[in-house]
Amino acid sequence: MEIVTVADAAERLRLSVRQVQRLVRAGDLMAIGPDRLDWESVLRHEATRRAHHRRAWEEATAWASVALLERVEVPWLGQAQRSRLKGELRRATAEELVARTRNRATVHRLTGHRAVVGRLVREVIGSGGAKGVGDLTAAPREQVDGYVSVTRYHQLVARYRLHEAAEEGNVTLRATGFDLDTVARIAEQGEVLAGLDLGASLNAREREAGMQAVELALAPLR
């Protein structure tokens, strides 16, 4: 794991130290001690925001955008909100959508004993590397990647003694405050959610496959 100071991260991201500290508190960057950050989390943050500098959508709007692309109903938005969001989706690129939907969940990359992975798979809504998207194969059985509620996330960390990890962690938990039944329907419907997950990857091949999946979903709107 490569570690950098908060000041170095601020310089790389062209932000103030206070803004970087806010990103740490929000879970966007991973702290390693009081003034140290995981370099991988800094690069990931930079990658997901490279093409688009407008603010990310709120959680409910982010999930609504994914639902609309998967033709899942979005009763939590009014008619006017849905119309505006559809207009924004028609104008969006894949990279912009990856950036603007980042608030749908807080991503935690963790390490756990490989014996617990099989149990964790049954307790999450699989997405991202858990699915074979494009020419990618599904994640190996020694890894798990999926969505959980915020409350469930803390329970799983405690139960299975999971620890924060760098990029090579074998557990990725995406904690969301959104309705998990709706998340499950979206994930089962198609590859948009998996594409958004992979689109934020630092692995070039995964990122390309994710962007292609998102672009394919956006194309019919244009």
Sequence-distant (6+) residues with CB within 8 A of 66 are 101, 104, 186, 192, 193, 196
pLDDT at site 20? 87
What's the chain's length in residues?
Answer: 222
Residue 78 φ then ψ, to 5°: -75, 170
SS (H, E, C) the chain: CCEEEHHHHHHHHCCCHHHHHHHHHHCCCCECCCCEEEHHHHHHHHHHHCCCCCCCCCHHHHHHHHHHHCCCCCCCCCHHHHHHHHHHHHHCCHHHHHHHCHHHCEEEEEECCHHHHHHHHCCCEECHHHCCCCCCCCCCCCCEEEEEEHHHHHHHHHHHCCEECCCCCCEEEEEECCCHHHHHHHHHHCCHHHHHHHHCCCCHHHHHHHHHHHHHHHHHHC
Over the stretch 183-210, which tens digit does the pLDDT of each residue have? 999 999 989 999 999 888 877 788 888 8
Over the stretch 42-68, which tens digit does the pLDDT of each residue have? 887 777 665 555 678 999 999 999 999
Band (pLDDT 50/70/90 cuts) for residue 138 is low
Over the stretch 144-185, which tens digit does the pLDDT of each residue have? 999 999 999 999 999 999 988 755 688 999 999 999 999 999
pLDDT at site 161? 93
Q: In this structure, are residues 35 and 68 in contact, taking their beta carbons and an 8 Å threshold?
A: no
Q: From residue 22, how far is each of 5, 15, 157, 169 by CA, in Å?
A: 15, 11, 23, 24
| Model confidence at 82: pLDDT above 70 | yes
Instruction: Calculate the dihedral angle through the C-alpha atoms of 55, 60, 61, 66, rounding to the nearest 10 degrees.
Output: 110
pLDDT at site 31? 83
